[in-house]
Amino acid sequence: MENKLESNPYKKGTKANRFVNCADVNYETGHSRAVPLDEFPTDMELGNGGGWCRDDGPLGNFFNIDRKKLKGKIVSVQLVGYKKNTFNRNIPSNIHNEFKNSRCCILDITSKLIEVDHKDGRYDDYMIDPDVKDYQSFHSNVNKAKRQHCKKCKETGIRYDAIRLGYNASQFIGPKEYRGSCIGCYWYDPYEFNKQISKEYKKEK
């Protein structure tokens, strides 16, 4: 897979195709809404192993899949980002040049200690050709803090909870459990996180 998808990639009439058509997939992020089991027709009922939504099935070829369970039974299916490809951690010179004299996206300061940061703290983001949008600028101390939180996420499988910083949501997209995508986590992109969380904000008089 060389690029993110732009449309439903599955053969018309297949279960994967029908699911993607009804799941409101955001092709930019690879996320969808959580589709409850009662929305599936009888021929798409799921067995204990997940049937057509297994990780090693057609959906799993492109997407990370979150299957919510209740008392051991799958009750909803959601796509939570594209499958990733391991990438080189070295930051290309052209990316470094793009961030010359940039400000820390959290502290809003310039400094000799500004560093270029991979947004994806697991270094396995979906990047075939590195793009400036996959990076951000952090003060070195902020970058160290991010690394600690990303390390904790790897150890526990639980993404950073932004409620600890005073926000009203833990992540702006995706579940609290890490399901293969960092998008929606505060540390993945603090600027975008603030933008999404404050969309409905109205200043009191």
Query: pLDDT digits over 80-109, tens only?
Result: 998 876 555 678 888 889 998 899 999 999
| 5 CB burial (10 A radius; 0-12, 13-18, 19+) | middle
Please write down the long-range contacts of 90-98, taking CB distance under 8 Å and 24 or more positions apart: 91/116, 91/118, 91/130, 91/135, 92/130, 95/130, 95/132, 95/135, 98/132, 98/135
The whole-number pLDDT of residue 127 equals 54
Kindly report which listed range (27-31, 46-50, 187-191) carries the lowest average pLDDT score: 46-50
The whole-number pLDDT of residue 48 equals 60
Separation CA 121–CA 142 (nearest Å)? 13
Separation CA 28–CA 189 (nearest Å)? 15
pLDDT (tens digit, 9 = 90+) per residue, 170-202?
Answer: 999 999 999 988 999 999 999 999 999 998 877
Which one is predicted more confidently, 203 or 23?
A: 23
The whole-number pLDDT of residue 3 equals 54
The whole-number pLDDT of residue 1 equals 39
- Tell me the domain boundaries of the chain: 15-82, 93-197
Q: What is the mean pLDDT of residues 135-163?
A: 95
Instruction: Decide if pLDDT at 31 tops 90.
Output: yes
pLDDT tier for residue 2 given thresholds of 50, 70 and 90: very low
Instruction: Decide if pLDDT at 155 tops 70.
Output: yes
pLDDT tier for residue 158 given thresholds of 50, 70 and 90: very high
pLDDT tier for residue 30 given thresholds of 50, 70 and 90: very high
Separation CA 66–CA 34 (nearest Å)? 8
